[in-house]
Amino acid sequence: MSKNKIAVIGYGYWGKNHARVLGELGCLSGVYDPLISDNSDSDIKFFHNIDDVVSNSTAAIISTPATTHFEIAKSVISELDLLIEKPMAMSVEECMELESLSMSNNKIILVGHQLHFHPAIQEIKNIINKGILGNTKYIYSNRLNMGKIRTQENVLWSFAPHDISLILEIVNSDVTSINIQGSNIINKNVEDATLTNFTFKNGVNAHIFVSWFHPFKEQRFVVIGDKGTIVFTDSVENNKLVLYQTEINSKGLEISNHDSQVISYKNSEPLKNQAIYFIEAIKTRKCEINNASHGRKVIEVLEKSTELL
């Protein structure tokens, strides 16, 4: 078996995309999905069970429904490095167990918060690290759309994990308080819209607004510093990334100048960038972005927010 043969467990929407990317990178060992009984794609090998996945692979991507992530990951982590689609698991307790198993078995866990690998987000991180925005003061995210409406998980668990993950990395401080309000528009048992406010130990504030019952699509991520603001609007066709630099007069009472600049970035596929990072992490045995510890912290925020709802 050649090095770095990676299987895909779960062949739904994201599973098919993962399989395509791994195929393009020449490291797909095959696909396993218990709901698919035969090889519906002639150029892809389909495994008949988990044992076949383990014996023919060095790693796996778990892209099954979120409620199954924990049990599947637990069953194979002694043998395989794992990329687990977000959320990593459905509770902090499950995350802690997977984190412990990854350490005891010396296995990599990368959680699929793929927005970290979007070239625009990578450019935002560069801008922040260069000090162009000054000190980060506030971050907010709007992730709004009309559908797809879920009946099991609420919109917070469905839409917000990517943004929570990004905010936690950028702020790099503990959450000290969370306030949240939710709306049950379609289903009285499932929130269709939530607005969550965060305060961090270092003084940064943030909010996340998510809805799947919104009249128009908007995907916007904003980082505000005391010297400038960077805005990533993924839902527009052009000028997706814009840097605003604002000058305030010495008395601090008026804005004396407010300029905008469109920031260009390399056009590359986040999912493929993530796969390349996973392959490199397998090689170096180092996973610094979206590792198991980070995945657990995201679930801690989701759990606390759900309790407040």
Are 106 and 209 in a shared domain? no
The whole-angstrom separation of Cα 196 and Cα 156 is 9
Same structural domain for residues 62 and 202? no
- 256 and 123 together in one domain: yes
Asked whether residue 75 falls in the same domain as residue 200, the answer is: no
One domain, residues 203 and 180: yes
What DSSP state is assigned to residue 83?
A: E
* 171 part of a folded domain: yes
The answer as to whether 63 is a domain residue is yes
Give the pLDDT confidence score for residue 147 in this predicted structure: 83
Do 132 and 171 belong to one domain?
yes
For the chain, what percentages of helix, strand and coil (3-state, to nearest 5) are there?
Answer: 35, 30, 35
Shared domain check, 164 and 143: yes
Specify the range with the lowest mean pLDDT, choosing from 35-44, 87-96, 108-117, 240-249.
35-44
Same domain, 127 and 261: yes
> Are residues 131 and 246 located together in one domain of the fold?
yes
Domain ranges, residue 211:
116-268+304-308
The region of weakest confidence among 16-20, 108-112, 187-191, 231-235 is: 187-191
Q: Residue 132 has what DSSP assignment?
A: T
Residue type, 255: I
Closest C-alpha among 284, 272, 298 to residue 108: 284
Q: What is the CATH number of the domain that holds 66?
A: 3.40.50.720
Q: Is the pLDDT of residue 2 over 60?
A: no
* CATH code of the domain in which 235 resides: 3.30.360.10
Rounded to an integer, the average pLDDT of 84-106 is 97
Residue 156 shares a structural domain with residue 261: yes
Check: CB of residue 52 under 8 Å from CB of residue 80.
no
Q: What is the total count of domains within the chain? A: 2
Q: Are 262 and 239 in contact (CB under 8 A)?
A: yes
pLDDT tens, residue by residue, 45-54: 999 999 999 9
Q: Is residue 221 part of a domain?
A: yes
Cα(186)–Cα(86) distance, rounded to whole angstroms?
Answer: 24
- Domain for residue 293, yes or no? no
Residue 129 within any structural domain of the chain: yes
Q: Which two tokens stand for residue 13?
A: 């929407």
Residues 78 and 190 in one domain: no
pLDDT value at position 41? 57
68-80 pLDDT, tens digit each: 999 999 999 999 9
Q: Which of 99, 40, 5, 20 is nearest to 291 (CA)?
A: 99
Is the same domain home to 31 and 175? no
Q: Is residue 105 part of a domain?
A: yes
